Structure 1
Amino acid sequence: MSTENRSIDNKNRILIRWPIIILLALMILAWMAFYLFGEKRIVRYTSFGIDLPVNYSMHGIDISHYQSDIDWEEVKQMQIDNIKIGFCFIKATEGIERTDDRFETNWGKAKANNIPRGAYHFFDSENDGVEQARNFIENVQLAKGDLPPVLDVEQLNGVSIADLQRRVSDWLKMVEIHYKVKPIIYTGADFYKRCLADKFSDYPLWVAHYLVKDKPRIERSWLFWQHNDAGHVNGIDAYVDFNVFNGDSAAFKQLLLK
């Protein structure tokens, strides 16, 4: 090949490479712009001690006697940027006869501080669903502005899936008849898939699924998502579970008891 031909060939190669280089540079710039200025799904909030999914407008917590004494005024007043505690689920009962020894206090003080509240029952899969529903009903008086009742079911304890589903169904039906509202089911994403799926799809779901960024990995629709169990809130000297509501404030108000 002549010197002249080699020079032309080199120029052609350079001309071919430049568009590729420019395209790669534009792709890198686009990625950097999205990373720096694009919509962020997760933001670290030092005051809360955790990453929060900021694409949701309603954030809340759930508590029980494990959080001990709570200063509800401090809970109400805490706000970082536009993030505040917009609702709280409170453990009320467990099994056929147990009540949470902090329920009455927490229930009353949440109401006094205008924090929308919900009560939940921790389900004992080894015991009768009707008897457990009776325990909840006898101890929980729901009022206008409260969230629907919640059944926390997350353990088999050696019981067959068929027996668990029958007992869960008995609890849900009895509670729905009493309060005239469909209860919410709380459970883990994996437990729901293994033990509850296809049987309770018409009930609202509050799903627990950690270590995911923007939403829980579950095929069905969900109402609440518990995304972290190690948050911090002013007025509470213990780790707290954090949740988001899958909707805006208008949808949340529609959920509250009338």
Structure 2
Amino acid sequence: MGLAALAGCGNRHMVARHSVTHPPVSTPPASQALPFATVARPSFGDAHPVVWPGRTPAMHPVHGMDVSRYQTDIDWHTARAHGVSFAFIKATEGADWADPAFAGHWISAAAAGVPRGAYHFYYFCRSAAEQARWFIAHVPRERGALPPVLDIEWNSASRTCPFRPDPASVRAEVMTFLNTVGRHYDQRPILYTTLDFWHENQLWLLDGAQPWLRSVAQHPSDAYADEPWTFWQYSGTGLVPGVAGPVDVNAFAGSHASWAVWLAENTH
């Protein structure tokens, strides 16, 4: 099944194709959770601010962050009050590593009323099918969660996997992962990547995934030649009230009204 068909796939597919038992990660009952909302403008700083040529992050009113085990101390209520309208939380990497902070962040973000989703960091020396199964085994399927995310980029720091597949192989593996998790969660997945990876692997040829693009020196409409995007990671050194130390910060492509529509269409 291609990504373009994911919006129409229902739970009947997921029951037949998947039998993974999720770990006991729970969230507060709906009656206790705060309603999802945004502030007018985020009040974030930056440890290493840049001078933006032309379009800037401030043009976009809806902002959020992505976190992992490196963010050990988060006051999610404070972060939300200062403009964190969404969060993506690292869940897994490769086919045999799970982020130890995932469950805590997952529960605490929901308790503070922050819409959150999980992301997987791709490892080039395991198959996409294995990695999708690993992600599914660790991320619960919940109402209200944001779509699953694949983070794929060259990892020059890897001591165990210097392998760089050719672009066609990369795109095939990306499609395998996204189609597998898209069917399981019955959501249209998100694809995060960097500028060099995007161009070297011609990821614009893929159809159906929602792009989350990194660009810390230019607006993505400039850096990615007006490629449509959903999320933009504009800094890796953001300073967000409620978060100890620097954190990745991101913008949503649209207005507050379009964010509400996107949430309604992409969380269920």
TM-score range, shorter chain: 0.7 to 0.9
Whether contact under 8 Å (2:117, 2:149) holds in the other structure is yes
Quote the Cα distance in structure 2 between the aligned partners of 1:46 and 1:129: 36
Counterpart of 1:172? 178
Alignment CA distance shift 1:213-1:187 (3 Å): closer
**Residue type of the alignment partner of 2:78:** E
Partner SS state of residue 66, structure 1: coil
Quote the Cα distance in structure 1 between the aligned partners of 2:221 and 2:204: 21
Quote the Cα distance in structure 1 between the aligned partners of 2:78 and 2:44: 17
Deviations 1:209-240 (A, max 9, x none): 11125855113211101011111112222211
Counterpart of 2:87? 88
1:1-258 equivalences under 5 Å are 47-49=45-47, 50=49, 53-78=57-82, 84-155=83-154, 157-161=162-166, 162-212=168-218, 215-219=221-225, 220-256=227-263, 257-258=267-268
| Structure 1 spans left out of the alignment, 5+ residues | 1-42, 79-83
More helix by share: 1
Quote the Cα distance in structure 1 between the aligned partners of 2:204 and 2:79: 38
Alignment CA distance shift 1:160-1:252 (3 Å): same
Deviations 1:140-193 (A, max 9, x none): 113222211100000273232233222222111111111111211000122111
Alignment CA distance shift 1:47-1:173 (3 Å): closer
Alignment CA distance shift 1:73-1:177 (3 Å): same
Alignment CA distance shift 1:62-1:181 (3 Å): same
Same amino acid, percent of matched pairs: 35
Counterpart of 1:10? none
TM-score by length of 1: 0.75
RMSD: 2.3
| Structure 2 spans left out of the alignment, 5+ residues | 1-40, 51-55, 156-161
Structure showing greater radius of gyration is 1
Higher RCO, Cα 8 Å, sep 6+: 2
**Residue type of the alignment partner of 2:71:** Q
Partner SS state of residue 59, structure 2: coil
Quote the Cα distance in structure 2 between the aligned partners of 1:63 and 1:102: 9
Partner SS state of residue 86, structure 1: strand
TM-score by length of 2: 0.72
Partner SS state of residue 206, structure 1: strand
